[in-house]
Amino acid sequence: GTSYIVINGTTAESATISKEEKLQITACIVKTTAKRIPLVLGIGGNNTLEVIKEIKATDLTSIEGILSVVPYYSKPTQEGFYQHFKAIAAATEKPIILYNVPGRTAKNMDALTTIRLARDFKNIVGVKEAGNNMQQYLELLKNKPAGFLVISGDDDLALGITLAGGAGVISVIGQAYPKEFSNLINFGLKGDNQEGYAMHFRMMTIIDAIFEENNPAGVKTVLKELEICGNEVRLPLVKASSQLCRNIADFVRSF
């Protein structure tokens, strides 16, 4: 099953929820989960001082770790990335998972920078790598310190990364199909590529579909079809198109 829950990540529309809403969401999840599963909290941004301020102002008692995105928009150098996360690592004793997603941040944090951070700061314990770049994944897996977690942020590459030595996935489709996608990852962790790829091919259609227009509109459409929640998103995002909704509905009915 699910190993931990990430709060206020990209799929939670963290860019368009207020600080007050973030606190309410976190408090609700902490209360609901009641220490039954580890919680990782998304705290990141492109203003280093504000990220540190938010970390210090947040009650992290029930939080196992922090997921912190690479600074966006400003497009810092690799040294800028390093200094940003150095300052964040000094601001908390909580474990930190870096989050590299160049498709959203406009600039890639190189594997060498990630490895440098991993070696220099004991509370930087992993990276969620979401660049859809197999070469970068392999560089991280080859050069990482012992115990450092290379976590896939790409659902379509998650099995291959796990089979290559990765530590699983922080998933989008896993929010709709947690059991099935957890099984896929567990096959990868066990080195069972036959069963793993059987599940991978079974799920590829829906993985492609949920990213066809934008995330989280796609996966929220799946969740609506499963009668888990509505499919509303906040501007500037919009709901999935009628055609995509039909395609997703067809998959859900047949899965």
Mean pLDDT of 165-179: 98
Catalytic machinery residues? 99, 128
For the 5-153 domain, the top CATH level (class) is alpha beta
How would you classify the pairing of strands 124-129 and 5-7? unpaired
Question: Exposed/middle/buried for 189, CB within 10 Å: 0-12, 13-18, 19+?
Answer: middle
Domain extent listing, the chain: 5-153
The average confidence (pLDDT) of the chain is: 98
Q: What is the pLDDT of residues 209-249, one digit of tens each?
A: 999 999 999 999 999 999 999 999 999 999 999 999 999 99
pLDDT of residue 1: 78
Are 163 and 188 within 8 A, CB to CB? yes
What does pTM read for this prediction? Answer: 0.97
pLDDT of residue 76: 98
Helices (H), ranges, the chain = 19-33, 48-57, 78-91, 102-105, 111-120, 134-143, 158-163, 178-189, 193-210, 217-225, 242-254
